[in-house]
Chains A and B, each alone.
Chain A
Amino acid sequence: MAMFRHVARVAWKDLRIELRSREIVYTMVFFGALLVVIYSFAFPKDARAVRGSVPGMLWVAIAFTGTIGLGRAFDRERENDTMRALLLAPVPRLAVFLGKAIATAALVLAVAAVCTPLLALFLNAPLFAHPAPLIIVVVLGAVGIAVIGSVFAATLLKVRSRDVLLPVILYPLLVPLFVAGTSCTAALVAEIPNFEAAWYWIQFLGIYDAAFLVLSIWVFESLVIE
């Protein structure tokens, strides 16, 4: 029980800093909106083409904003060297990791919650034809990005070229997640939605998240040492 309290406290600490400055949310949302505008010029806008390309647009936006948010969320711990304090705190490292991951997932979700309606609006895309499975798949995707991302953003904290290395490490590892996310979204926005396929990819993402959550819990302590 104490464990959950520690996790909640670490996550709440991060979210409270964010709620006070709103730095990451504002910049990430603005960046996401810009991406949507660029998409609408870069890709054909007829209804048929939009159906085909909107899943990719959504997940590229999540990937880009996710990495930027991750890097920034962990940069904060570096600036005042608070990561060391966090790791020295008399709570299990696991609580620190889970707290950070939860806060990051919340940030990624906040941005996705803005980008998705914007995509639907600007491109007239039928993203909200079936909202429930779409929300599930985006949540699962955000959790996956936050879990794997938190592990590597934490290990990269002291590395000079962390901004370039974070995507270099993350994207190859996250490819299955993006493929599952885009395939699921594509199945949902298709003219005849394929719920069977969508459900398959949701299960796939669930297993993916679970496997990497367990792995992250297992290796976090041996990866993040100071």
Chain B
Amino acid sequence: MKKLAVPVFATLAAVGIAASVYLVFFVAPLQFGYNEAGKLNGSSLFFNQKIFYFHVGHAFWLFGAVFVSGAGSIAFLKTRDPKWDDIASASTDVAVAFGAVVLITGSVWAKAAWDVWWQWEPRLTMSLLLWLVLVGYVLVRRFAGPSADRIAAGMAIFGMVGVPFIYKMVGQDSHPAAGSEGVVATLGPGMRGAFWLSVASFLCWYLALVISRVQSTRAERELRELRERGLDLGVLQ
């Protein structure tokens, strides 16, 4: 069962992503015009709107991954069980990759929608700062030696607590809104299928990456322990 998890999720992700690419480019309509509120709803976006499916798909699971690593870090500090640390660390690694995708695709969107590559508004700033914490976490894990797991877990927890402050600290929000009046809720009927399919496929992609990462860390640890036992017994040199 456990062995099947990675191939199953990877296959689902591959099929799902391929299908959503098809839906996004050949089925979902192009977007232009304004919505009822008179807000920009993609008039200048046109074809660029297509990147939305990948941007939001990754952003969803970026925050999911951050939540998983925060929860994993708390569980690790409470129980000292390395299995939680494996999950937190794997999830953070993947979150760094997802965050990079979110920032780059978001930048493309920003250029099309606001005619700037970058704007210091809350959700962009929050994503960037969160991403910096994640990169810091990865650096700590790599370079902090034997106590890296503890320090990194502490960093994840402190980073999580900092998120509301980051959100509060930056001013106006020009980002497409979330919630009941947001972009997702007001998507045209032809776009919904492509959108939710891409979100689901990226979840599978995330799970495949995290599970394989956790398995490889565990295998590494097992190998190291076996090696040490072999050295103790004199079987290995």
Contact = CB atoms under 8 A, between A and B. Distances in A.
A88 interface: no
Say what secondary structure dominates the interface of chain B. Answer: helix
Contacts of A21: none
A179 B147 contact: no
How extensive is the interface on chain B, given as a class?
Answer: 20 to 34
B157 interface: yes
Contacts of B161: 211-212, 215
Contacts of A179: 169-170
Given A152-B154, A168-B139, A169-B151, A176 B165 contact: yes
B165 A165 contact: no
Interface of A: 148, 151-152, 155-156, 158-161, 164-165, 168-169, 171-173, 175-176, 179-180, 183, 204, 207-208, 211-212, 215, 219, 222-223, 225
Interface stretch (B6-14, B45-53, B111-119, B129-137): B129-137
Interface of B: 77-78, 129, 132-133, 136, 139-140, 143-145, 147-148, 150-151, 153-155, 157-159, 161-162, 165-166, 168-170
A111 B4 CA distance: 59
A125 B103 CA distance: 37
Nearest to B77: A222
B143 A173 contact: no
Contact of B136 (A160, A172, A225): A172
A49 to B, nearest CB: 20
A180 B169 CA distance: 7
B169 A172 contact: no
B129 A175 contact: yes
Contacts of A223: 77, 150-151, 153-154
Contacts of B147: 155, 158-159
A223 B151 CA distance: 7
Contacts of B150: 155, 222-223, 225
A215 B158 contact: yes
B166 A175 contact: yes
Contact of B140 (A169, A175, A176, A207): A169
